Amino acid sequence: MARKAARSAVRFDLPEVDDFTRPYWDAAAEGRLLLRRCRAESCGAAHHYPREFCPYCWSEDVGWEPATGRATLYTWSVVHRNDLPPFGERVPYIAAVVDLAEGPRMMTEITDCPEPELRIGMPLVVHFRGAGEGGGEGIGGAEGNDGAEGAAVAVPVFRPA
């Protein structure tokens, strides 16, 4: 029985926050979306998910920069079943890929929009599930997620602009 209780405490919607990604998650908790941009003179490409090197030219001269939070819908899928906690409580939900205004594509979730109203290319804007958000969808620290224990974490999701 103790094993079942320990397993139910694990949250699969929490990131593993480490020293490298901490600026990203700290900004998200403040309602800001950050990207990484290559500073190499011949490149300058923005990328997401955060990496310590540029995935285009392999330069290690990359830095954080604020994103506008604007995006367009590239594709989506409605998830009707997910057995990982706490996703099962959220079904159905819309898993999506969006094109950020700065160029990179990002996996995310679409909220506040019924699936029949979604259109490829529709304008979206970021908001954050978690720190400071009401409605019972908050994300807090949980045992079993290294680096996120005891900390409030906010995750970027998108809704129609």
For residue range 27-40, list pLDDT tens digits in order. Answer: 999 999 999 999 99
For 57, counting Cβ atoms within 10 Å of its Cβ (0-12 exposed, 13-18 middle, 19+ buried), the class is middle
DSSP string, 61-106: -EEEEE---EEEEEEEEEE----STTGGGT-SEEEEEEEETTS-EE
Q: Check pLDDT > 70 for residue 79.
A: yes
Q: Counting every residue, how long is the chain? A: 161
Tens-place pLDDT, residues 114-130: 999 999 999 999 999 98
E strand map for 2-81 = 34-38, 46-47, 62-66, 70-79
Q: Of 122, 101, 99, which is closest to residue 112 (Cα–Cα)? A: 122
Q: Check pLDDT > 90 for residue 77.
A: yes
- CA–CA gap between residue 110 and residue 94 (Å, rounded): 5
Q: Check pLDDT > 70 for residue 42.
A: yes
Q: Check pLDDT > 70 for residue 146.
A: no
Query: pLDDT class for 5, splitting at 50, 70, 90?
Result: very low
- CA–CA gap between residue 139 and residue 161 (Å, rounded): 23
Our CA angle for 38, 43, 48, nearest 5°, is 40
Left (φ > 0), alpha (ψ -120 to 50) or beta: where does 26 sit? alpha
pTM of the model: 0.81
- CA–CA gap between residue 130 and residue 152 (Å, rounded): 7
Put the strands of the sheet holding 46-47 in their side by side order: 46-47, 34-38, 62-66
Q: Check pLDDT > 80 for residue 142.
A: no
Q: What is the pLDDT of residue 134?
A: 39
